[in-house]
Copies of this chain bind each other. A is one copy, B any other.
Amino acid sequence: MTDFNKRLDQYADLLVRVGINLQPGQELIITSSIEHADLARRVVAKAYDAGARRVSVDWSDPQTSRMTLARADAEALGEYPAPLAKWREEHLEKGGAQLAIVGNDPKLMAGIDPQRISTLQQATARATQAIAGYTATMRRSWSIGAAAVQGWADSAMAHLPAEERVPALWDAILKACRVYGDNDPVADWQVHLARLAKWVTFLNEKKFARLHYKGPGTDLVIDLPQNHVWISAGNAANEKGVPFCPNMPTEEVFTAPAREGVNGVVRSTLPLNYGGTLIKELSLRFEKGRVVAFSASEGQEVLQGLFDTDEGARYLGEVALVPIDSPINQTGILFYNTLFDENASCHLAVGRAYPICVEGGGSMSSEQRLAAGLNQSVTHVDFMIGSPALDIDGELPTGELVPLFRKGMWV
C-alpha cells in the first residue's frame, strides 16, 4: 500500500471513529459526489469495520447538477422531491448518523443565472428543514469531511502546474486534518479536541455580555444571549451523550449572537463560496441585528438571493473564534471551501443559530428559541472576518473589557 493510500485510509477511519464516532449496530448515510468515490468507498469499508448495521451512499454529480441548474424548467428547480428528504429524515429518526464528503470546483456554477441557483437552494433548504433540525440540535451524530478533485484543486492550487494540483490539495487536506506520516491521527485529535474544550470552558465561565470587533472595514458590536453557551467540536455529543466531531478539520469555538443585538459594519476577509458562486469583499451593515445594507465586489446577485431566502437570513446565527495560527491558516492556502476557510480564521454566519448555543435550547419550541435570542432560518452561511488586523474584546456584565484577540490571535 502506498503512503498516500495509507493516509486516505487513516482519514476515512478518522471520519468514522472521531468524526461520526459510529457505534456498533448504527446505520450511516454518506452524501458524496461521484467524483469522491475513492474516499467514500474507504469510509464505507471503515464503517462496516466499526460494526455499522448498514451504510448507504446518497450520490450526486456536480456535472449533472450544473446541467440541471442551467437547463431544467425554472419551475422544476423549485420542486425538491419530498421522498428523497423523507428517506434521510426516517434514517435520522431511527438514530442513524450522517456524513457529508464535500469538495467541489468553486467555479462550478459560474455563468448560471443566480436567480435559478437561489430557487434551487431555497427549495432544498425548505425540503430538508427537518434534517437540518436533527443536526442543528446535535441530536444525531454527523460530520463533514473533504476530498480533492481537479476543479477544486485548480482554484486552491492555481500556482502549481495542473497535474500537481490534486496531489497538493490532498496533501493540504490531510495535513489540515492532522493525518501526517507516522502519527496516530485518532490520538492527535483527542488532544486537539481537549484543547478546544478548554477554550470553551474559559469563555463559558466569563459569561461575556457582548463582543467588540475592530479591523479594516469592521467596527461591530455583537451582544450575546444571557444564557449563551460556547461550543466546540471538543464538546459535541449527540442525544445519547456519544461524542462526535461535526467537522474535520475544525478549529473553531462558537456560540450564537443575540438575534437583535448586532450593530455596526463588518467586512469579509476571504471570498465566500455559496452554491458554486464566489461572493467577494462582502460588507454588511447591521442595525438591531438586521442586515440593513450589503455589498460585494462579486456575487452581489447571489447575495441578494441569500438574503431573500427568509427573514432570518438577514440576521446572524453564529459567531466563531479561530486564531490565525491555526494549521489551516498556516498552510497559507485559500481553499475556496468553507469547511477549511472557516477554520482558518474568525467568522460569522447569517441564518439559523444552533439551538444548543443557549442553555436548554435543544428542547425549546420555536417561539422559546426566538425569545432566547436565537435566530431562525432555513439557511446558514458562514463568512470569514479574521485577519492579522482583527482585535476582539469581550465585555463582562460589569462593563469591563477583556482583550480576547489581538492581531488575529488569542491574547
Contact = CB atoms under 8 A, between A and B. Distances in A.
Interface of A: 25, 27, 34, 37, 40-41, 44-45, 48, 52-57, 59-61, 63-64, 67-68, 71-73, 76-77, 81, 83-84, 86-87, 90-91
A219 to B, nearest CB: 46
B90 A87 contact: no
Contact of A55 (B52, B64, B77): B64
A67 B41 CA distance: 9
B72 A54 contact: yes
A209 to B, nearest CB: 46
Contacts of A45: 67
Contact of A41 (B25, B48, B52, B63): B63
Given A25-B73, A54-B76, A73-B53, A64 B44 contact: yes
Nearest to A79: B54
20 contacts: A27-B76, A34-B59, A37-B61, A37-B63, A40-B64, A41-B64, A41-B67, A44-B68, A48-B67, A52-B72, A54-B68, A55-B64, A55-B67, A55-B68, A55-B72, A56-B68, A81-B87, A83-B83, A84-B87, A87-B87
Contacts of A71: 48, 52
Contact of A87 (B25, B56, B83): B83
Contact of A64 (B27, B53, B57): B57
A114 B214 CA distance: 67
A71 B50 CA distance: 11
The number of times this chain is found in the oligomer is 2
A342 B60 CA distance: 32
A63 B55 CA distance: 12
Nearest to A88: B83
Nearest to A76: B54
A72 B53 contact: yes
A91 B82 CA distance: 11
A29 to B, nearest CB: 10
Nearest to A58: B59
Contacts of A60: 59
Contacts of A91: 81
A48 B55 CA distance: 33
Contacts of A64: 40-41, 44, 55, 57
Given A67-B44, A83-B83, A87-B83, A61 B54 contact: no
